[in-house]
Chain A
Amino acid sequence: DGGITQSPKYLFRKEGQNVTLSCEQNLNHDAMYWYRQDPGQGLRLIYYSQIVNDFQKGDIAEGYSVSREKKESFPLTVTSAQKNPTAFYLCASRPGPGELFFGEGSRLTVL
């Protein structure tokens, strides 16, 4: 079945460690997005990519990095520079104008 797969679903990290969240899609969508979700704050855009080998910062990019080497993959690295990384992270993709398709999310907890 076509869709967006995020892994891992749950991740625990010690302070000072970098972690990478995986996002893979087989929908053949050009555009991919990473959002962060905190209680009561909706979804905030971290990074997005309209095409392979190109990506732009969203509203809260500090402390995060991404790559887009393949159309299907858009991994997000949460670096030690991110001061408050505990959150629910959502990856999404879109074929063009219109609906954004979301993955099931990854919950990151910093111990």
Chain B
Amino acid sequence: GENVEQHPSTLSVQEGDSAVIKCTYSDSASNYFPWYKQELGKGPQLIIDIRSNVGEKKDQRIAVTLNKTAKHFSLHITETQPEDSAVYFCAASREDSSYKLIFGSGTRLLVRP
């Protein structure tokens, strides 16, 4: 079945450095790729998403890149801050009537002050 692999499972960076999280998906028909941030004891919140008709999208310190040929997409966080510490999930889906988001296993990001 469909699968999304996410790496690394944990990531520790110094405040101000960049963080990169990578995902690979198996369903070549996937065309929607969101990233969610989950703080402790809370539900995930969307931070950025990308559709298959573009290769990159930026929102302030956050960017996502997509390589459809390789079925890879990545989250880039620049100038990290302690409040960026959380668990990040990537996901992939087809945006059709059978919509089902397939999530990666998550990356725990720790930003050291």
Listed in ascending order, the chain A residues whose CB lies under 8 Å from chain B are 4, 31, 35, 40-45, 48, 50, 58-59, 90, 92, 94, 97-100, 102-105
Contact = CB atoms under 8 A, between A and B. Distances in A.
12 contacts: A4-B43, A41-B105, A42-B105, A43-B44, A43-B101, A50-B97, A90-B44, A98-B95, A100-B46, A100-B101, A102-B36, A103-B43
A63 to B, nearest CB: 19
Interface in B76-106: 89, 95, 97, 99-101, 103-106
Contacts of A35: 103
A100 B4 CA distance: 17
B49 A40 contact: no
Contact of B45 (A43, A44, A98, A102): A102
Contacts, number: 52
Nearest to A50: B97
Contacts of A99: 34, 46, 49
B41 interface: yes
B interface residue count range (under 10 / 10 to 19 / 20 to 34 / 35 or more): 20 to 34
Contact of A45 (B6, B43, B100): B100
B9 interface: yes
B51 to A, nearest CB: 9
B1 to A, nearest CB: 7
Contacts of B49: 98-99
Given A40-B106, A99-B46, A105 B41 contact: yes
B96 to A, nearest CB: 9
B95 A104 contact: no
A90 B43 contact: yes
B100 A58 contact: yes
Nearest to A94: B99
Q: Select the residue from B36, B43, B106 with max chain A CB neighbours within 10 A.
A: B43
